[in-house]
Structures are given as structure tokens and as C-alpha cells.
Structure 1
Amino acid sequence: MVDILRADARVGNKTYTSATVVIIGAGISGMCMAIDLIKRNNCHNFVILEKSSGVGGTWHDNKYPGCCCDVASILYSYSFEQYPKWSREYPGQEELLKYLIHVAEKYGLYKYIRFNSEAKEARWDEEEKKWRISVEVSGDKDSQFASSYILNSDFLASAVGQLNVPREPDIPGLKDFQGRMMHSARWDWTYNFENKRIAIIGNGATSAQIVPEVAKVASHLTVYQRTPNWVMPRLDTAVSPLQQALLTYVPPLRMRKRSLAMDFRESFYAAVSDAKSDFAQQIREWCVEGLRTQLANKPELWEKLTPNYSPGCKRLIISDDIYPALARENVDLETRRISRITETGIQIEGGTSQEYDLIVLATGFKTVEFMYPIQIYGSNGRPLSDIWKEGASAYHGVTVEDLPNFGMFYGPNTNLGHNSIILMIEAQSRYLNAILGEVLRARAKGKTLSVRPNPDALKRYNRELQEVLAKSSFADSNCSSWYKTEEGKITNNWSGTVVDYQRNLSQVRWSDYVVEGSAKGVVEPRKITHLGRVREESYMSNGSLILTAASVLAVVGGVLLRGSSLLRSR
């Protein structure tokens, strides 16, 4: 009899409630994990639970005006699926979503995804060495089959990320407003905001993208700022058809452009992490110069828009058009504190009120509440809320104390302030697939295996991590940010460069894990499993690149000439 639950068999009707692996989320991380499952472990017996109706994660949810990426397009893509035909250096949301849909289609991921399916709870069964995931089905038709069910798996991977649950501000009267109110991550394009009186609460990266677009058509726009941000120019330009063709048909050029982008972004680590570095000072000077140049007609805003904290303490804003938008006659910047929301608008301290047709909440996400609102229970029923009662932490940001056979993407202390998060995600996927591979091999032999981080190794790792972060710009007491808890613990950002992180995850040190189950003897003798990493920083000079490209062109030219000669001789 064929084992219909073997790793290379797809989940079918009869095995609907059982899978070798369950991935929560069909965004960049979830799709990367799924692709690696297939390529590295020949595993097809997995399910991706996606609570929305499409792939793309944050690029499916965020559709607000001006939504785009603040990492160059050449670098904001998978290393194994680079796209040479981006229309701009910094692509917009629709183009990014199109790319991710292409990836899902090319690698055949749709057949593994269950849309409108939300993981509500996950419990580890100690005896069976399995996860029991409670799934709630939404959607009128889908829920007619089953509104909820339990899905069993040998391994659970969370790919929900840090920026997925919108955070509403704690402002009195928020629900009293009788006009239109929407969060930036839940933008309603059926609402016509032209010639409307609009307020935007928040002035971070999202607001900096929305404001320039809304300002063009609003009758009046007010931006409510709590604290200012450092703003760097994006220098966005269109990618010409010629460059697209060269990047498509001369791969060394595409590789070179990507490596240069990698080098450039890595160089910003010193600027965002060390407040005393020369680069940090240079950032200050560039930002101040840009502010005063682009707002030359509004010098009264200079002081209001100049931060008193180090660059990097809050997310550095990358924008070419936020200052020109604030310079418009129909745009005001309000820095006084909001006292309450009224039925018709916003009241600020001192009693002054302003009426609005639309209030936009560009107030970010619940970032330090990782995995929220999913309830997780690990070994001996221990809840994740208890494990993380002093702030979220994980070994290398991917495995968690007392959560066996569990891995997470974009977890605690893996966010970046200087480079592409996709570079981190790929390293995490390779690492987790190495651990998962051992679980699969044990399962194929009819044995059990559970792997969880050694508490001592995890504590040592996080102690060293926090010691570095405590000296960084992220810890600057002059600002509050979504990088840290109210107590000041930095739970979101990584302490080093991307290359540092990739090297850390280039091997699995089994001595740093607690391995249990009937197959534990297979893993324990292995001290280290070497995985390697994808090297994308520059390792070839421009001269060498030119010689290589010239050689390739010479060979191609020779082949074409030879073919032409043969045709003439016939």
C-alpha cells in the first residue's frame, strides 16, 4: 500500500486534515519556504494557510496611493528568481504583487495554498510529536464546506511576518467620527478622495508615500506628526528598455548591478547603527540639506521636521517627494498633540478643531506582538505569551524555546534598517529546511523526531545580541519606535549586517538544540551541518566583469559568424 502521507505526496481529499508541514502565510517568506521544501527536501506534502484571498502578503494587503518599496528593485527579489524587467528602480505595489504572483505560478504553489483560511491556534502534542493547528475558514462559499477544522502536521512554519496586523492609535473618540476613516493597510479604493478634506495621522514611511499622492487631488490635507523623521532621497528613475534588455540577455551585468546594490545597502549599516560614525553624521548633513532645499519657501517647518535623535533610531524615510508635498499650499503640518476625535473631525490640544471628510490612519502595525493574534502552545502546554513575557526572542530569530519542530520567518531581531529583508528570509529558509529535513527523514523511517533550541544556547545568543543593540542607534532614548517594547527592549532589529546574519545561518550547530524522539540518535552525533550561503556582495572587479562580458560576447559573436558562414556555403 502506498503511503499517501509520504513527503513527496501532495495533500489530497482523504488527507485534508494531515500534512507533513504547515506554513502560515503566502507572502514572500511563506513562498520561499515552500519553494525550498520542494527543491531541497523533495517535500510536496505541505499546506500553506493564507487568511486573505491572494498571495503576496504585505504587497497584497497594502494598496494605498503611492505604495512602493524603499529597497531597489534589483535587490528586492529572490536570488533564485531575479527579475530583469522592473519598470523602475523602486517598484510600486502593483508591480511587486505581479512579480510575486508570477513566482507562485512558476513554482506551482497555488495547489498547496488554502485561501481564506486563518490559523487561530496551534498546540504541540507531546505524545504524537505533532502540531494541532486550529483553522477558521472565511468566505461565503468556502465556509459552507467547513467553517473550522484541525490540521495536524509534523512541522509548523510561521511566515506571518512583523507587519501584518494594523495598529489603531489610542485616541479618545476614534469610533465617534461620522466621516470616512480607513487604515493605510486596509485602503478602500471605492472611496473617491478627490476634492476632500483629508487628515493623515502618522508621518512614517507609509505616510511619506501617501501624502504626495493624496495632496495632488485633496482640497486640503493635514498631516499630524508626532515626531519628525530623517528623510533621504530615493533617486527613483525609470529603467529604460535598453537596460532591461541588457539585464535580461547579459546575466553578468544583472549580477553586477545586484551586487553593487547589495554593497551600497550594506554600507548603510554603520550609519543606522552607530550614532557616532562619520557616515551617521554624513546622513544628518544630507538630510538637513535636502529638507532646507526642498522647503525653502517654508522655513517655519525646518525645526519641526528635524529630529533630535540619531539616524536609524526610527526607520529612515526614503522619499523624493514628501518635502515638495509639504510645501504645497493645500497641505499643513500639525505637530500639536491630538486630544480627541470628534464626530466631524479632529480636536487638538488647546481646543482647536478641524473638520474632515476622510481620516487616514497611517499608524503602522502591531510589531512587537509577534504571531499575534495566533495562540501558540508548546511543550507541556506552555503558551507563547509566557515564553515571551519579557519580550519576544528566538535563536537566530527563527526557532523558539519550548516550541519543537517550529520555525519562524522575519521573527524577533531579524528586521533590517539598511538592506533588503529578502536576503534574510532566504537564509532563514535554507536553515529551517535543514532542520526540517531531519524530521522528514525520521518520519520516512517510521520514527519520530522533535527539535527545539537549547535554552542555554538561546539565552547566550540573545544576551550577546542585546549587548550589541544596547549600544546602537536603535536604543537612542530620544525616540520611540516600532523596533522596541515600551520597556525599551529592542525585539525587532538585527544587530549586524546581512552578511553577518547569513554567515550565522550557514550552518546548523546541533549542540545548540534539544533533540528528542525515537530517531534522536541519528542527529546527535552530528556536531555541525554546513549549509553555505548565497553570496551576493561584490567579489569581482569592474575590470574582470568587462573582460568576462567581452569574452561571452566574443564567443556568441563567433558562433553567429560561423553559423552565417555555413549558411553562405550551402
Structure 2
Amino acid sequence: MAEFNAARRVGNLDFTRSTVVIIGAGISGLCMAIDLIRRTKCSNFVILEKGSQVGGTWNDNKYPGCACDVWSSLYSYSFEQKSDWTREYPGQEEILAYIIKVAEKYGLFKHIRFNSAVQEARWDDTNRRWNVKVGVSGAKDSQYLETYDLETEFLISAVGQLNAPSWPSISGLDDFSGKLMHSARWDWSYDFSGKRVAIIGNGASAVQIIPELAKSASHLSIYQRTPNWVIPRMDLAVHPIQQALLHYVPPVRWCKRAIMMYIREMTHSAFVDSNSLLSKQTHKQATDAMKSQLADKPELWETLTPNYAIGCKRILISDDFYPALNKEHVELNTTPIAKVTETGIETEDGDTREFDLIVVATGFRTVEFMYPIEVYGKNGRSVADVWKDGAMAYRGVTVEDLPNFGMLYGPNTNLGHNSIILMIEAQSRYLSEMVGAVVRSKTRGEALALTPKTDVVRRLNDTLQEQLQNTSFADVNCQSWYKQADGRITNNWPNTVVQYQKDLSYVTWADYEVEGADAEQIRQRKPTYIGRVKEESPVSNTTLVLGALGVAAVVGSYVNGRRRR
């Protein structure tokens, strides 16, 4: 066997061999790649991206009004904090620009193969490696080859939970002769100004799209199945002076991020425990905001008030959704849709409306993790069989019977109260430690396989499901993308981010089946402490003093500059 060099990136001669393969070039995939370079000192990896740009969901979702529902101060990597966000809740284009900039800074583009979709992955029990089948698209790329096989020692899924659009099963949808588009596949070549528009759905995407469509459409009909809890966004522009402080005086940025992290963690009970005081206060805040913004339309109050616990479905934040419903040319329709006709939509009461554009804002196939990729682990067992009763993973990152496999933003790691990036960084740090063990074995010309023990995975999942049944997510009065049709919650984490980070701050080798090189030695290892990023605590007094001095210096300079003018 030729000598292996983990620092050498994959080139032409070894195009079909890579130590690590990452599926997806979104926030998760890029974070994993950066950790491989920084923590594992491994550059022998490939990122397979089915799209033509980095960004993941922030490249896919380009609809009008698309923005983050987490404070911008928390929506960047801890090791690459962005100081010049223009708003407290940044828009899609600004987030995508940040992600591209990070990919450029860390030299990740040379590792990415765009227009490359993973179709299947099979574990080779004999050679202890994955065989990944890749489909190639794109007008030019597909001229070289349409499919190829890629071998790797470690496979990491970074496809996320919000990547495959979910289309509703409405009769006649394909017969519509006007313009039809999904919110996650927006066509900006189409001008909706002056058009009659219908939007099916009223979830997170819809409440951002509706105010934008209402500005120029001649008529807008919103087809609502069930109401959602909406709380005020209270979005603000970030003043250039604040941007300067955040950039030139890092302690100020660290302090702002720590405070916002702390606040977000404190709101956990509002969205998870319906009996908590904070949940009741949030309930009142949402109800009062709706009534004040729809003071002229009290007939809509009951229609827009959910009958389930706040937090059971994704909480929506908006300052302009309710004002949009106040417009004369905007109507809310709650009668179930019977069918889509060639020219419009017919509801079950026989009412038929004609439209030029129908926007489907019905979310994603969230409980089908990794869809439509087919994965086969030990002894050819499919992940479909592993997850026949619902997706589950060891602390959300590794899966039974899938050796040398990891996930980012996997089962039961979604949040309702804080930034998912805080979870992703913990997962990436954890997986990089496991990859490191495999890389060290490969350097010696040996193969190592790590698989979470089935009994451990199931025990942890049983405990997790018991906790989840006592949360707002389990309210039987709502069906959300957090859970399956049978009520099992497969997407959400019931506790705080800090608790999750603590759970992943150790690699407990005894929880894994180990095969290959140094197997016995690894089995007997004590848990390896890998640490975590600590951002939730108030910063030190020294940091506060430096921040205060920095604020005084910048403000003083600004004032003096104004006086000289």
C-alpha cells in the first residue's frame, strides 16, 4: 500500500478514493470540513454537493422576504463571527454571502464537487470502507461522466432536515396552466406584480412571502389549513457605529453574542414547557400582538388562534404578516382545498378562484432523513430498516449498524429556541475526533471501524422519547414537521443547547463496537474529553472592561469627528 498522507487533498489520480466524504456544502458540511482541517489535520476529503453553489438551505430558499428567525449575532460560526450584519435578523442573500466568504477563506472550494448527488452508499464489511455512488448533473459536468463510485473510510451526512421540498397531494395540481412554484424553488424570472396569486400554507416560509407578495400582487389568497403561533419579530437595522464597535472591539462582539445566547437559552421553557410562566407570557404576547395588528378585523382573531400549546409547531416571528392580512386585496381562506383546476383552486364548499400564480409553501420532507439517498450498512442492512420505526441516532450523530458514519443536524437535534449552528459545531467537533482515530489507523496502513452499540443507541433514544412526551412538541392537537404521523418526535431536542454541548463534550469509546486496528485498546480507553464552545455565560470582567474602553474610544472618536465638521 502506498504511503498515506492525510494532509494531501484528493486529486485526479485518486479521484475515486477519499478518506472522508461529506454530503452537502451547507453550514453543516462546511463546518465539518473546517474541523477536519483544523482539528484532525486531514485535507484528504471531498464534499459532494448536488447544487451548484455552497450554502445549503440558504442557497435553495431564495423566495421574497426570506430571512433568518435567529438573531444575527448567533448566526455565524463561533470561530468565524461576522461583525457587520446589517440587521438583527439577516436576510437570505446576506447569509449566503457570509457562507461563501467562509468557504473562500478556508480554501474549501477545491474540495467541493458541485452538481454531484449521492444516490447510494454501501458499507463494505470486508474492506471496512464505504462505496458511494455519485450521480453527476450539469450541462458540462455530465459530459465527462454521469455516475461514478467513490470509496471512503468515513462517510458524513450534512444534508440537514430542510432540503427536500414537500409537495402536497392535492388533486389536479399538475393540471394548473398558470405558474406553479414551491417556496424552496423560487423562480425570480417570473414577475408577480399585478398578478392574482394564491399561496398554499401559512408556515415559516409563507409568513415571510405573504407580506412581499401583498406589496404588488393585484390579489392574494392565503389557503390556511391550521393557524400558527406568531410572535413579534422586532427586527432592527444594525447601525454602522455598532458594526464598527463589533468589528474593531471584539470584546463588545463577544459580549453581545454571550448575552443573546444567554437570553435564547432562558426562553427554552417558553417553547418546550406549556405550563411554564414564560410559556403563558409568550402566549399572551402573541395573542395581544395579533389583536392589536388586526384591530379592524376581529372576525379573524378566532381563525388565527391555534388550539395547541405554543411551541408544538414551529413558532413564527413576523412584524408584517398580520398587517398584510389587513390589506383589502388580501384574503384568508380556511375552507379545505378540494382540487386545483386548470385555471385556479376549488375549495370543498364549491367556491372556485382563478389565479395566475400558485405558490406552494408546504415545507420539507423532514422526517425522511437523507431522502432520497439509499444507505446500506453492516451485512447490507438498509437505513430504511434501521429506521423503520422512526429515525434515531446516538446523540444525533452516529447510527446503529452504520460503521464510520456520522450525521450533522440529524435526528432529535433540531431546536425551537436557539441557533442550530450552536448544535452543529458540537457535532462537528465530536465527529472530527472519531475521524481522527480512523485517519491514524489508515496512516499505519490499517482499517478501523467504529459503530455505536445498538443497545446504547436505543437506551438513549428511549430516555429521549420519554422526555419529549412531556414537552409542548407532543401536544396531540397539532401535527408538525417535528414528528411522524404516529406522534413520535424524531426531529427535536427537548433540552437546552448547553446540555447538548455538554453531552457531546466527551467521546465515550465504550459506547462503540470497534473492529480492526487497535480495537481492544480503543475499547478500553477512558472517555476522551474534547471540550465545547462556551458562549452562554456572561463574559469576564476583563472582557467587559476592554469592551467598555473600546466603546468609549470609538464613540469619542466619532463625536470629535463630528465636532471638527
TM-score (normalised: structure 1): 0.96
Q: Secondary structure at the match of 1:272?
A: helix
The answer (yes or no) to whether the contact 2:254–2:539 under 8 Å persists in 1 is: no
Distance 2:467 2:140 in 1: 51
Aligned to 1:475: 474
Q: How far does the alpha carbon of each residue in 1:297-353 deviate from its partner, in whole angstroms, 9 at most, with x for none?
A: 111100000011001000000111100011111100011100111111000011110
CA contact (8 A) 1:291 1:323 kept: yes
Deviation at 1:278, TM superposition (A): 0.6
- Asked if 1:495 corresponds to 2:503, the answer is no
In 1: Cα distance, 2:344 partner to 2:476 partner: 33
Give the equivalent residue in structure 1 for 2:97: 98
Distance 1:32 1:425 in 2: 8
SS at match of 1:522: helix
Which residue number corresponds to residue 549 of structure 1? 547
Moved more, 520-529 or 226-235: 520-529
- For the residue of structure 2 that corresponds to 1:79, the secondary structure is coil
Distance 1:385 1:550, change over 3 A: closer
Question: In the superposition, relative to structure 1, how do residues 109 and 252 fare at CA in structure 2: closer, same or farther (>3 Å)?
Answer: same
| Residue correspondences, number | 555
Gaps of 5+ in 1: 557-570
**What corresponds to 1:18 in structure 2?**
17
1:135 alignment partner in structure 2? 134
User: Which residues of 2 match residues 185-334 of structure 1 at below 5 A?
Assistant: 185-334=184-333
Q: Which residue of 2 aligns with 1:119?
A: 118
Give 1:538 shift. Answer: 2.3
Instruction: Report the equivalent of 1:366.
Output: 365
State the match for 1:566 in structure 2: none
Separation in 2, partners of 1:240, 1:210: 26
2:262, 2:549 → 1: CA distance? 25
- Closer, same or farther: CA 97–292 of 1 in aligned 2, 3 Å: same
Deviation sequence 1:327-386 (CA, Å, 0-9, x none):
111100011100111111000011110000000000000000001000000000000100
Matched residue type, 1:38: I
How far is 1:546 from its partner? 3.9
1:114-162 deviation per Cα after TM superposition (whole angstroms, max 9, x unaligned) = 0000000000000010000000000111111111100000000000000
The letter for the 2-side match of 1:131 is W
Note closer, same or farther for the CA distance 1:234–1:438 as it changes in structure 2 (3 Å cut). same
For residues 295 and 363 of structure 1, do their structure 2 counterparts lie closer, same or farther at Cα, with a shift above 3 Å needed? same
Given residue 101 of structure 2, which amino acid in structure 1 is its aligned partner? H
Please list every run of 5 or more consecutive structure 2 residues that lacks an aligned counterpart in the other structure.
Answer: 555-565
CA distance in 2: counterparts of 1:553 and 1:290, whole angstroms: 35
SS in structure 2 of the partner of residue 41 of structure 1: coil
199-208 vs 266-275, greater mean Cα deviation: 266-275
Q: Partners in 1 of 2:548 and 2:502 — Cα distance?
A: 33
Shift of 1:527: 2.1
Give per-residue Cα distances to partners, 1:493-552, cap 9 Å, x unaligned: 0010000100000001111111111331331221200011000112337x7654333567
C-alpha RMSD of the superposition: 1.5
Secondary structure, counterpart of 2:314 in structure 1: coil
Asked whether the equivalents of residues 510 and 524 of structure 2 are also in contact (C-alpha less than 8 Å), the reply is: no
Aligned counterpart, 1:568:
none
Which segment is superposed worse, 462-471 or 512-521? 512-521
Paired AA for residue 345 in structure 1: G
Q: Is the 8 A contact 1:427 1:506 kept in 2?
A: yes
Would the alpha carbon gap of residues 37 and 300 (structure 1) be closer, same or farther in structure 2, given more than 3 Å must change? same
Describe the superposition over 1:54-89 as per-residue Cα deviations: whole angstroms up to 9, x where unpaired: 000000000000000000111000000001000111
Deviation at 1:265, TM superposition (A): 1.1
Determine the C-alpha separation between the residues in 2 that align with 1:245 and 1:104.
Answer: 24
Report the secondary structure of 1:74's partner residue.
Answer: helix
Q: Evaluate the alpha carbon distance shift between residue 552 and residue 285 of structure 1 in structure 2; reply closer, same or farther with a 3 A threshold.
A: closer
Aligned to 1:85: 84
Over the matched positions of the two proteins, sequence identity in percent amounts to 61
Deviation at 1:288, TM superposition (A): 0.6
Distance 1:302 1:389 in 2: 41
Q: Which amino acid aligns with 1:228?
A: P
Q: Name the CA distance, whole Å, in 1 between partners of 2:164 and 2:539.
A: 42
2:174 is paired with a residue of what secondary structure? coil
In structure 2, the residue corresponding to 1:139 is in which secondary structure? coil
Residue 335 of structure 2 aligns to a residue whose secondary structure is coil
Tell me the distance in 1 between the aligned counterparts of 2:552 and 2:536.
27
Distance in 2 (CA, whole Å) between partners of 1:551 and 1:115 is 47
Q: Is 1:514 matched with 2:483?
A: no
CA contact (8 A) 1:86 1:239 kept: yes
Per the normalisation by structure 2, the TM-score is 0.96
1:42 aligns with 2:23: no
Secondary structure of the 1:532 match is coil
Check conservation: 1:438, 1:523, Cα contact below 8 A. Answer: no
Q: CA deviation at 1:267?
A: 1.5
Q: Take 1:172 and 1:109, find their aligned partners in 2: how far apart are those partners?
A: 44
Question: Alignment partner of 2:189: what SS?
Answer: coil
Letter in 1 for 2:406: G
Q: Are the equivalent residues in 2 in contact too, given 1:133–1:150 (CA < 8 A)?
A: yes
Structure 1: how far apart are the matches of 2:351 and 2:42? 62
Distance 1:347 1:262, change over 3 A: same
Tell me the residue number matched to 1:567. none
How much has 1:258 moved relative to structure 2? 0.4
Contact 1:23 1:46 in 2 (8 A): yes
Deviation, 1:553, is: 8.3
